[in-house]
């Protein structure tokens, strides 16, 4: 991801181009989720080989200040090799602005269902004349952190770099998906599979049900038709179908899950090894 690094790490990297290149080259950007709202944890994530870090401000309670610190930690501790992508908690312009002013590579907009919602999100993420994002007077230091290629301004570069990713997770969103994909400024589509299943009247997990399978086929068909990358969590058993269907930005691991399941695995192996020793000691009391 170094090819998409900005001249200064306080700025947003070029996720828009990374997504276009991923579609062109049939390549997948692999990400890691930051579910623990702590700078110390994100420092560790930023040191890995993941292409991007999912900062989930929708489901992980955090202040705008902490969110900004997490974004900046990803940028600095990865030395520009990892992109910070923030799922904002609402469609509010302020949340989008806080994430992007901090240097996020992109924003995920949850529970997107209509063309009007998408247009408003894009406007909030782009400086004029392409949008209505307000100039942040304290985000960049003139001549220090606002450095860009000759002939450009950092706000214009931000418009070129920042990705807007609407999240589809309802039947209404599916119904409007084709129109949404045709909107200028939509860089990828995220699929919230669990909420989509719930909205379709299904259980949170499972598979094979006609409404869900038809919905996913529609998503894949629209991705191919409009050359639109898909984003989201993908379990191992769905990897092939998902990548063939258009997934180009996938998160398969999150800190909280790796910590919990990793510890469970380590503890399980230790208990198994200790149990063998205890059994041997019981079988040969004298040798113990």
Instruction: For 165, list phi and psi in degrees, rounded to 5.
Output: -125, 95
What average pLDDT does the segment 95-121 reach? Answer: 98
Q: Report the share of the chain in percent with pLDDT over 70.
A: 99
User: pLDDT per residue over 219-267, tens digit each?
Assistant: 999 999 999 999 999 988 899 999 999 999 999 899 999 999 999 999 9
pLDDT band at 99 (very low <50, low <70, confident <90, very high): very high
What average pLDDT does the segment 282-286 reach? 82
Residues contacting 167, CB < 8 A, separation 6+: 87, 108, 109, 110, 111, 112, 189, 190, 191, 192
pLDDT at 81: 97
The pLDDT, as a whole number, for residue 132 is 97
With bands split at pLDDT 50, 70 and 90, how would you rate the model's confidence at 288?
low
Q: Where residue 206 falls among pLDDT bands split at 50, 70, 90? A: confident
Question: What 3-state class would DSSP assign to 193?
Answer: helix
Q: Which residue has the tokens 């290629």?
A: 149
Indicate the pLDDT class of residue 285, thresholds 50, 70 and 90. Answer: confident
Topology annotation, domain 2-287? TIM Barrel (3.20.20)
| pLDDT of 46 over the 80 cut | yes
209 C-beta neighbours (distance < 10 Å), count: 14
Q: Are 99 and 162 in contact (CB under 8 A)?
A: no
Do 53 and 85 contact (CB within 8 A), yes or no?
A: yes
| Predicted TM-score of the model (pTM) | 0.93
Residue 284 in this model has a pLDDT that exceeds 90: no
Taking only the tens place, the pLDDT of each residue in 161-197 is 999 999 999 999 999 999 999 999 999 999 999 999 9
Domain ranges of the chain: 2-287
19 phi and psi angles, rounded to 5 deg: -70, -40
**Averaged over 62-83, what is the pLDDT?**
98
Share of the chain above pLDDT 90, in %: 94
């Amino acid at each position: 991801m170094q090819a998409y690094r900005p001249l200064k790490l306080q700025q947003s990297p070029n996720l828009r181009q990374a997504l276009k290149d991923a579609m062109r080259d049939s390549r997948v950007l692999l990400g890691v989720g930051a579910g623990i709202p702590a700078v110390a944890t994100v420092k560790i994530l930023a040191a890995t080989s993941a292409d991007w870090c999912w900062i989930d401000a929708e489901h992980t309670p955090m202040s705008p200040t902490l969110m900004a610190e997490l974004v900046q930690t990803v940028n600095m501790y990865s030395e520009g090799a990892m992109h910070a992508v923030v799922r904002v908690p609402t469609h509010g312009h302020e949340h989008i602005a806080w994430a992007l002013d901090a240097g996020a590579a992109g924003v995920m907009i949850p529970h997107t269902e209509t063309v009007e919602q998408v247009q408003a999100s894009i406007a909030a993420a782009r400086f004029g004349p392409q949008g209505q994002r307000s100039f942040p007077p304290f985000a960049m230091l003139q001549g220090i952190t606002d450095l860009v290629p000759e002939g450009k301004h950092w706000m214009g570069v931000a418009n070129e770099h920042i990705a807007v990713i609407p999240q589809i997770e309802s039947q209404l969103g599916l119904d409007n998906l084709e129109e949404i994909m045709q909107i200028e400024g939509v860089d990828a589509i995220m699929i919230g599979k669990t909420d989509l299943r719930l909205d379709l009247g299904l259980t949170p997990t499972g598979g094979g049900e006609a409404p869900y399978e038809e919905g996913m086929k529609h998503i894949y068909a629209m991705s191919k038709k409009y050359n639109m990358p898909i984003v989201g969590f993908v379990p191992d058993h769905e990897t092939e179908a998902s990548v063939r269907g258009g997934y180009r930005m996938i998160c398969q691991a999150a800190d909280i899950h790796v910590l919990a399941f990793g510890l469970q695995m380590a503890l399980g192996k230790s208990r198994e090894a200790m149990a063998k020793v205890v059994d041997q000691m019981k079988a040969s009391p004298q040798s113990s």
